[in-house]
């Protein structure tokens, strides 16, 4: 069954990782387009400020404080969207963290924590969204990374989590298609973006963590997310240099 996606102005959209970076841009842009939005993040103070700002500009917004690595918290956030708005039309998985360290120097607890957010955050988001959109359909959009297509030393744990995310999303798409569930499962793979992820990242290296150059404007990711909320696209890669790097790795025999 082919998903039928609504115009943004008629949608209810849930966005994780909505307190900064790409998630924040997506939530604000969706609200400007007329969507009712529910923002999810761990930062209550930040969410309160963002929600107030959206409302001041005429948008409709609510928020839920949740760690996406906590399945029960994500379910509670999805329940709030249902209670406030009555349905969910688009769910955007964006929450993510990074570790700057060689793999052998990455402690197990930090590795587990990263996977809890980056991978299980997607698992929990997809589960919460799919169970609530199964009958009427909708868009399930996950923001992964171009790192899911190639290795990345120093960001190895982050890269591994994004490989896992891509495999999960692609497999889920096939399963829902086989069940004829009208949910469009879409994956967006950005190259390096000028977001605060480096500022918030853990690091076991000297110097300041930086996004691998060139760091693109994150609005370049927000725009395709809004496009996917209305149009079915299986995968979109954002950032030409990142795409070229992935192609180079695919053709390389040196690694």
Peptide bond preceding 228 in cis form (omega within 30 of 0):
no
How far is residue 57's CA from residue 189's CA, in Å, rounded to a whole number? 30
119 in catalytic set: no
Task: State whether the Cα torsion 202-208-212-214 is positive or negative.
Answer: positive
Q: Which residue of the set 85, 119, 158, 216 is catalytic?
A: 158
Distance CA 20, CA 238 (A): 19
Give the chain's largest Cα–Cα span.
Answer: 55
Are 4 and 10 in contact by the 8 Å Cβ rule? The answer is: no
Burial 86-96, CB ≥16 within 10 A → b, else e? eebbbbbbbbb
d(CA 121, CA 129): 12
For the purposes of burial, counting CB atoms within 10 Å of the CB of 123, is it exposed (0-12), middle (13-18) or buried (19 or more)?
A: buried
Question: Phi, psi (5° rounding) for residue 194?
Answer: -80, 70
CA 46 to chain centre: 18
CA 65, 93, 193, 109 torsion-angle sign: positive
Catalytic residues: 158
């Amino acid at each position: 069954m082919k998903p039928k996606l609504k115009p943004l102005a008629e949608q209810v959209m849930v966005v994780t990782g909505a307190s900064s970076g790409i998630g924040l841009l997506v939530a604000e842009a969706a609200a400007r387009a007329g969507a009712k939005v529910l923002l999810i993040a761990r930062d209550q103070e930040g969410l309160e400020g963002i929600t107030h700002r959206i409302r001041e500009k005429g948008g409709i917004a609510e928020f839920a404080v949740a760690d996406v690595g906590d399945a029960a918290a994500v379910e509670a956030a999805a329940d709030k969207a249902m209670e406030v708005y009555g349905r969910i039309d688009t769910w955007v998985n964006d929450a993510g963290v990074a570790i700057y360290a060689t793999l052998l120097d990455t402690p197990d607890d930090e590795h587990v924590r990263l996977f809890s957010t980056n991978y299980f955050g997607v698992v929990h988001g997809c589960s919460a969204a799919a169970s609530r959109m199964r009958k009427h359909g909708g868009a399930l959009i996950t923001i992964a990374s171009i790192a899911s297509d190639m290795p990345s030393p120093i960001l190895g744990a982050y890269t591994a989590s994004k490989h896992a995310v891509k495999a999960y999303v692609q497999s889920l798409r096939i399963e829902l298609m086989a069940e004829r569930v009208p949910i469009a499962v879409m994956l967006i793979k950005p190259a390096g973006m000028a977001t605060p992820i480096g500022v918030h990242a853990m690091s076991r290296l000297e110097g300041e963590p930086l996004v691998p150059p060139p760091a693109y404007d994150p609005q370049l990711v927000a725009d395709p997310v809004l496009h996917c909320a209305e149009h079915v696209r299986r995968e979109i890669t954002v950032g030409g240099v990142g795409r070229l790097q992935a192609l180079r790795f695919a053709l390389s025999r040196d690694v």
